[in-house]
């Protein structure tokens, strides 16, 4: 499986707190059946002021540590970019990292606030689309506005977004409402990718293994393979459909 969303680089956001914890998370990911993890620290202006430079540096240290442990795990890096007015400027300055490519377009992991769907999001999404960027929205199933108004899911899809559901949302780690919405999205074929969004080794570990089994049983093995392996794999290898 290919995991396109993780907070496994130590010490640069609210994810892993030490290299030791990161290595445990890497081992847990391998045990879950994951072969590639994209490190996506928060890029959240004024909260987590990460840049391509410091993310690449953290990735490089982690990659060396994973290699020293002989773990069969490929790492790459990008970022989880919180929606802010500054995004067009960052894009113009080439300051934003991409997870890979989808149908030739660079894929931006673009995070909404957890509380609401921000006003003007449709304009930003149309602007990104016109600029040749493919937005990938993480965890819409955990957004409080979306939970209240599930029609927003199709609205986001109609605006051209790819949608990533969290593995732990499917397994119930985020409660009944989030789990119900995740399963509803799966039933309606409104999910493009499942990723872990792992933050640590205990409270928010890599739930990809358990979630894969649930999707396989709830929907089908073919769909599980598509959501956990094929689609994320095409993106990280920038392989066209
Ligand atoms: Fe995240």
pLDDT tens for the chain, 241 residues: list them. Answer: 999 999 999 999 999 999 999 999 999 999 999 999 999 999 999 999 999 999 999 999 999 999 999 999 999 999 999 999 999 999 999 999 999 999 999 999 999 999 999 999 999 999 999 999 999 999 999 999 999 999 999 999 999 999 999 999 999 999 999 999 999 999 999 999 999 999 999 999 999 999 999 999 999 999 999 999 999 999 999 876 5
**42 C-alpha to center of ligand 1: Å?**
7
**226 C-alpha to center of ligand 1: Å?**
21
pLDDT at 240: 61
**6 C-alpha to center of ligand 1: Å?**
6
**166 C-alpha to center of ligand 1: Å?**
9
Specify whether the backbone of 39 is left (phi greater than 0), alpha (psi in -120 to 50) or beta: beta
pLDDT at 169: 98
**53 C-alpha to center of ligand 1: Å?**
19
| Tally of domains in the chain | 1
For residue 241, is it within any domain? no
For residue 25, is it within any domain? yes
**The tokens 């499942």 sit on which residue?**
194
What is the CATH number for 195? 3.20.20.140
pLDDT at 24: 98
For residue 136, is it within any domain? yes
For residue 187, is it within any domain? yes
**46 C-alpha to center of ligand 1: Å?**
17
Neighbours of ion ligand 1 (CB under 5 A): 80, 197
For residue 81, is it within any domain? yes
pLDDT at 239: 75
Instruction: Encode 59-82: b = buried (16+ Cβ within 10 Å), e = exposed.
Output: beebbebbeeeeeebebbbbbbbb
Domain boundaries, position 200: 2-236
**168 C-alpha to center of ligand 1: Å?**
12
């Amino acid at each position: 499986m290919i995991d396109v969303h993780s907070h496994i680089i130590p010490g640069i956001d609210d994810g892993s707190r030490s290299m030791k914890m990161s290595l445990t998370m890497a081992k847990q990911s391998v045990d879950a059946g994951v072969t590639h993890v994209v490190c996506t620290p928060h890029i959240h202006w004024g909260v987590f002021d990460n840049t391509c430079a410091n993310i690449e540096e953290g990735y490089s240290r982690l990659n060396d540590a994973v290699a020293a442990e002989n773990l069969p795990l490929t790492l790459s890096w990008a970022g989880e970019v919180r929606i802010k007015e500054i995004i067009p400027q960052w894009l113009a300055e080439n300051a934003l990292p991409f997870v890979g490519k989808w149908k030739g377009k660079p894929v931006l992991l673009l995070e909404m606030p957890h509380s609401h769907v921000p006003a003007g999001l449709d304009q930003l999404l149309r602007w990104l689309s016109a600029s040749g960027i493919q937005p990938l929205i993480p965890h819409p199933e955990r957004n409080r506005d979306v939970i209240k108004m599930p029609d927003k899911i199709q609205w986001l899809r109609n605006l051209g977004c790819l949608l990533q559901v969290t593995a732990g949302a499917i397994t119930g780690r985020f409660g009944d409402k989030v789990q119900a919405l995740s399963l509803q999205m799966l039933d309606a074929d409104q999910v493009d990718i499942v990723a872990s969004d792992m933050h640590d080794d205990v409270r928010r570990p890599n739930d990809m293994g358990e979630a894969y089994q649930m999707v396989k049983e709830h929907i089908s093995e073919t769909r599980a393979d598509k959501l956990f392996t094929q689609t994320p794999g095409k993106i990280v290898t920038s392989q066209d459909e």
